[in-house]
């Protein structure tokens, strides 16, 4: 189909059944699969776990078929595949916008917008976009990314499309490897920076790591009034660690501005191999009663 009928992608996008961003329970469970476009193919110590595209698509189709899953976050090639497979009906399609900061590259923090442009998302009738914002005070490339991210926020707001901003503070170690700072102080600072991007924050959501003790997470989320979703990360190979991650999500989901989960490898490549079970567990966390919560 790709070789003989490339126009089929646009045709599938035009006839796709869409839905509001927040529907029903008013919370989100989005499966993330935009890692390969940045050259990040590893999961739980397997460096090429995500390299088999047919296997990845199978896992995504299974995840998207489960009740409680709202949609998928991915690069254009994966969303095109899912459109052709008919897997995005009544599901949210979130396009990944900046994939130029290739994993391990010297230019990793000069994270150019090489993926979906805002006009692409609007043209295809997609529902939102996502951008990654990594900031290293010692790397000039971070300023380029920061400026580009602000303009992307402006363009998305002009189109009335939500944009999920995933901010991190990071530094390079003595060997030159990029290390993300997940301390409560660093995450708080990154949220404050991300919240102020662009000429309006009306369509901005934040994509936030769960860090530290539950009380620390409450203080972190007090840094902003913007709606937020929690991210997952690499699940590792230990089932016990997966259970600990679920418990952290459960606690953080009770905070007032947290509206859901955007998780990739932890659901698509769980330690026990049970994709449906991992997805169903995550969905069940969103179905639990949301605590009202108070800000510290």
Give the tens place of pLDDT for each residue, 113-146. 999 999 999 999 999 999 999 999 999 889 999 9
Give the tens place of pLDDT for each residue, 39-72. 999 998 899 999 999 999 999 999 999 999 999 9
Mean pLDDT taken over the chain = 93
Tell me, what CATH number does 191's domain have? 3.20.20.70
- List 206's β-bridge partners, or say none: 165, 228
Domain count, the chain: 1
Give the tens place of pLDDT for each residue, 213-229. 778 999 999 999 999 99
Decide if 48 is inside a domain: yes
Give the tens place of pLDDT for each residue, 242-288. 788 888 899 999 999 999 999 999 999 998 999 999 999 999 999 87
Decide if 209 is inside a domain: yes
Decide if 1 is inside a domain: no
What's the rounded Cα separation, in Å, for the pair 27 and 122? Answer: 23
Q: CB 24: neighbour CB atoms within 10 A? A: 9
Decide if 294 is inside a domain: no
Domain extent for 169: 8-17+27-287
Decide if 272 is inside a domain: yes
**Would you say residue 88 has pLDDT above 80?**
yes
- List 279's β-bridge partners, or say none: none
Predicted model pTM? 0.94
Percent of the chain with pLDDT strictly greater than 70: 96
Decide if 2 is inside a domain: no
Decide if 86 is inside a domain: yes
Task: Give me 206's structure tokens.
Answer: 């934040």
Task: Give me 143's structure tokens.
Answer: 């300023």
Decide if 233 is inside a domain: yes
């Amino acid at each position: 189909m790709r070789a003989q009928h490339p126009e089929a992608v646009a045709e599938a996008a035009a006839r796709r059944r869409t839905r509001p961003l927040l529907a029903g329970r008013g919370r989100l469970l989005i499966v993330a699969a935009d890692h390969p476009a940045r050259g990040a193919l590893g999961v739980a110590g397997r460096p090429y776990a995500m390299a088999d595209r047919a296997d990845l698509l199978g896992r995504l189709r299974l995840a998207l078929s489960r009740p409680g899953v709202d949609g998928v976050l991915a690069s254009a090639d994966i969303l095109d595949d899912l459109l052709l497979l008919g897997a995005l009906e009544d599901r949210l399609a979130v396009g990944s916008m900046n994939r130029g900061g290739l994993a391990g590259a010297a230019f990793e923090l000069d994270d150019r917008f090489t993926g979906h442009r805002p006009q692409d998302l609007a043209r295809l009738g997609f529902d939102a976009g996502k951008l990654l914002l990594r900031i290293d005070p010692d790397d000039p490339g971070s300023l380029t990314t920061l400026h580009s991210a602000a303009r992307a926020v402006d363009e998305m707001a002009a189109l009335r499309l939500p944009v999920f901003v995933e901010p991190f503070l990071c530094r390079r170690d003595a060997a030159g490897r990029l290390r993300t700072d997940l301390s409560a102080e660093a995450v708080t600072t990154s949220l404050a920076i991300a919240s102020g991007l662009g000429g309006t924050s009306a369509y901005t959501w934040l994509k936030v790591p769960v860090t530290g003790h539950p009380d620390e997470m409450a203080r972190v989320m007090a840094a902003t009034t913007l709606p937020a979703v929690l991210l997952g990360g690499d699940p590792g190979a230990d089932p016990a660690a997966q259970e600990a991650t679920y418990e952290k999500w459960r606690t953080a989901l009770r905070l007032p501005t947290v509206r859901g989960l955007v998780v990739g490898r932890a659901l698509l490549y769980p330690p026990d191999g049970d994709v449906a079970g991992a997805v169903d567990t995550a969905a069940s966390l969103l179905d639990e009663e949301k605590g009202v919560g108070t800000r510290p």
